[in-house]
Amino acid sequence: MILGRLSRLSACLRRQAVVVLGQLEEPMFVMIVDIMIKEGHENEYREAILRQGQNSRQSEPGCLRFDILQKPGEPRSFTLCEGYTDQAAFYEVHRKTAHYAEYSQATSSWVESTSARFYTRLWPE
């Protein structure tokens, strides 16, 4: 019965449901991004990235996590840990959303540097 219902869902929703049931077909696609913000834009950026994280988690079924970290004592230093059901959920969905475009446009002049690393999660499954 559950599998019949899953077959009618989109690929992202199907993959999300599999994750919820604890049977991840492929390892989670994880991206960790270190971001240094130009001095004087820390508060603006913080507000924008919090909105971006909320939008991603609420409107993207393939976005499983969107952790936003700020280094203690270094208000210009942020780290994002994003987890998606697969690479397609990141590249073909997340990167093409209106909220991602708005975030990118609003924050691009505030960013001093970024560094991204990509992983697949091995554990927990």
Query: Residue 26's pLDDT is what?
Result: 78
pLDDT in tens, 17-30: 444 445 556 789 99
Q: Is 66 exposed, middle or buried (0-12, 13-18, 19+ CB in 10 A)?
A: buried
Specify the pTM: 0.79
pLDDT in tens, 2-61: 443 333 334 444 444 444 445 556 789 999 999 999 999 999 999 999 999 999 999 999
- Token pair listed for 60: 């993207």
Q: Are 38 and 112 in contact (CB under 8 A)?
A: yes
Cα dihedral 16, 57, 83, 37 in deg (nearest 10): 170
Query: Residue 70's pLDDT is what?
Result: 97
User: CA 115 to CA 95: how far, in whole Å?
Assistant: 17
**Domains in the chain, CATH or no CATH each:** 26-120 (3.30.70.100)
Query: Residue 22's pLDDT is what?
Result: 52
pLDDT in tens, 58-79: 999 999 999 999 999 999 999 9
> What is the chain's Cα-based Rg?
16
pLDDT in tens, 93-113: 999 999 999 999 999 999 999
Query: Residue 6's pLDDT is what?
Result: 39
Residue of 62, 45, 63 lying closest to 54 (CA atoms): 63
